[in-house]
Amino acid sequence: MNGSATGRHFVFVLDDGFTMQAFSSAVEVLRLLERVRPGSGYSYSAASLSGDPVAASNGFRVIPDADVKKVPPRAVIVVVAGVRASQSEEPALASLVRGWARKGHPVWGISSGVVRLAQSGVLNNRRVAAHWEDVSYLRDRHPLIEVSASLFVSDGDVMTCAGGGAASDMMLTVLRRDLGGDIADEIAARLVIDAVRGGRVRQRRALEMRFETRHPVAFAALRLMRANLLPALPITAIARAQGVSERQLERVFAREFGKTPSALYLELRFQDARSEVRDGRRSLTEIAMDHGYSPAGFARSYRRLFGLLPSEDRRKAMSETIT
């Protein structure tokens, strides 16, 4: 990236029903950049497919100030969409995205904008970040895409972001790489962001991306486990809720996942704890106690599952950059 030399112009292409939080999280970082470093050369505009005002999922409408057919040279295209993206395709937008990519524009997707990029074909054979709600669709309909649980991923001129508040983390990381840490830290402070998360930090609901199954008993049991990570339910209660014995549930899990229910449940709980560990916002002692462990017991189980201590994993996460 060479934004420090030439600046950047971002064109946010807003799909009908786009997620407002994801859009505003990215835009606010750029807005504050102008306050922190006036004349930085970074700018942004918004466009819609029709050119008309476009409604976000919360009902508010944004008036475009750019034309999708007159995108400035070298502009970064950022597609932002919402839940309807996986329900129906938008061929006109897909065609525009392919055209922008052919002309050498960096093409980024935020939230379900990742789905729109996938529908255009520009994500084939790439690794991407996607909101956990879009993962099943992407895996079922776009098998050439490698879906990551990361908050955001950079792959050449393509960047993808799970959305929500992670869009701020992504933009701050880009500015840190382009313009330096002091500027990114000042913007984060103005947004009251205590710690900027790197791209390798996993989504809290990344658990939804794992242990997929169509077996009704296994699926319902997993859903109950995920809804009761803290405090954990007895395996007997989970089995009883599915109308099966604990032994029957063990056989189903062995066939579907190659794990016992208790082992899988423990992994789900520790994956959830690991997100907090790597996030860096709470003390390790607090996380351990919340999950029903002493700090020493938590550290032992953590190392057994992940191969390193919580303190080591936190330091590693804090030192990682986007991939």
pLDDT digits (tens, 9 = 90+) for 37-76: 999 999 999 999 999 999 999 999 999 999 999 999 999 9
- Given the candidates 3.30.950.10, 3.40.50.620, 1.10.1240.10, 1.10.10.60, the CATH classification of the domain at 210-319 is 1.10.10.60
Q: How far apart are CA 120 and CA 200, in angstroms?
A: 25
pLDDT attached to residue 188: 93
Residues written for the chain: 323
Q: What pTM did the predictor assign?
A: 0.67
Q: In 3D, which of 284, 278, 246 has the Cα closest to residue 265?
A: 246
Q: pLDDT class for 208, splitting at 50, 70, 90? A: low
Chain region(s) in the chain for CATH 1.10.10.60: 210-319
By DSSP bridging, strand 146-148 and strand 127-129 are parallel
- Which of 9-13, 34-38, 141-145, 176-180 ranks highest by mean pLDDT? 9-13
Q: Helical H runs in the chain?
A: 3-6, 20-36, 91-102, 113-120, 135-141, 166-179, 181-190, 216-227, 235-241, 246-257, 261-279, 284-290, 295-306, 310-319
Measured CA to CA in angstroms, residue 314 lies from 133, 203, 272 at distances of: 26, 15, 14
Residue 201 has pLDDT above 60, yes or no: yes
Look at phi and psi of residue 109 and say left if phi exceeds 0, alpha if psi is from -120 to 50, else beta. beta
pLDDT (tens digit per residue) in 10-22: 999 999 999 999 9
Q: What's the pLDDT score for residue 6?
A: 59
Query: Is CATH 3.40.50.880 the right assignment for the domain spanning 3-204?
Result: yes
Mean pLDDT of all residues in the chain? Answer: 89
CA distance 29 to 171: 7
